[in-house]
Amino acid sequence: MRKISFILIATLISFGCGSDKNSAVEETAEVSSTTEAPTTTAAEEEAVEEEAPEEEAAEEEAVEEETVEEEAPEEEETVSACDSWDADPKVTVGWPGPSGDFPGPSIQETARIGAHEGYDRWVLEFRPGSTPPTGWEIWWTGNYIDSDVGEESFDPTEAVEGLEYLTIRMLASSGWALPEEEWYDGPEDLYGSDVGTSNLMQASLMGDFEGYSTWAIGVDHEATFNVFTLAGPARLVIDICH
């Protein structure tokens, strides 16, 4: 009987120890499962998302400031074009030279004048397929017009209203060397009073001579001027300041 009691006691002790060990293992596993790497909370994620738009807004403001700073010089350059021009003769490289030395043709189609703020404009337009004249001499000639056209006794200033004159001689044609149906059919006289110009009084076609064409512009007074060409259609443009 004592032996049976002893065996029962020993069995109970062994069973109790085994249960303690299994509990310890399970607790360790539970502890290990709770020690995972920290995760970002919802509040932290919201904070990160809120910071991004602020950075983007700051970058957009910086871009807008740079754009405003770059636009300012363009406005300053257009304040007064006349301040950057002069009254010196405008002569192309190689002038004068034989008319065959310059490409063309430059056949005149029409002409017009206009009033602008600070200057008056004269435009000579050329026929489709033509180029602007590639050679010219444009200069103030005082109270006379330097022209090779007409009789020696002919005084062009009697036909052109003005106190001073801008003479324009260029490698171009009015078409008068061509068949009659191809002659220049545009206006030969343009009057500043018709369009309200301030300095330009009259612009007139003097004629052609040996491959050169001459126009004269009569003005109230000499002033700085600018010469340039345009394409589509081909044009020669002169701006004369007030």
Provide the residue ranges of all domains of the chain, joining segments of one domain with +: 1-36, 44-79, 87-241
What is the band of 103 on the pLDDT scale with cuts at 50, 70, 90? low
Query: How many CB atoms neighbour CB 126 within 10 A?
Result: 24
Question: 212 CB contacts (<8 Å, ≥6 apart)?
Answer: 99, 148, 169, 170, 171, 172
Tens digits of per-residue pLDDT, 23-42? Answer: 433 443 343 333 344 444 44
Percent of the chain with pLDDT over 90: 48
Q: Which helix (H) or strand (E) holds 164?
A: strand 164-170
pLDDT in tens, 166-180: 999 999 988 877 888
User: What pTM was estimated for this model as a whole?
Assistant: 0.66
Mean pLDDT of 105-130: 95
pLDDT at 121 over 90: yes
Nearest in space to 104 (alpha carbons), one of 236, 205, 225, 223:
236
| 87-241 carries CATH number 1.10.3720.10 | no
Report the share of the chain in percent with pLDDT over 70: 62
At 99 the pLDDT is 60
Cα-to-chain-centroid distance, residue 73: 13
Q: Of 126, 136, 146, nearest to 102 (Cα)?
A: 136
State how far the Cα of 176 lies from the Cα of 184, in Å rounded to an integer: 7
Separation CA 20–CA 1 (nearest Å) = 29
Phi, psi of 141 (to 5 degrees): -115, 20
CA distances from 116 to 163, 189, 216 (A): 21, 20, 20
How far is residue 201's CA from residue 113's CA, in Å, rounded to a whole number?
10
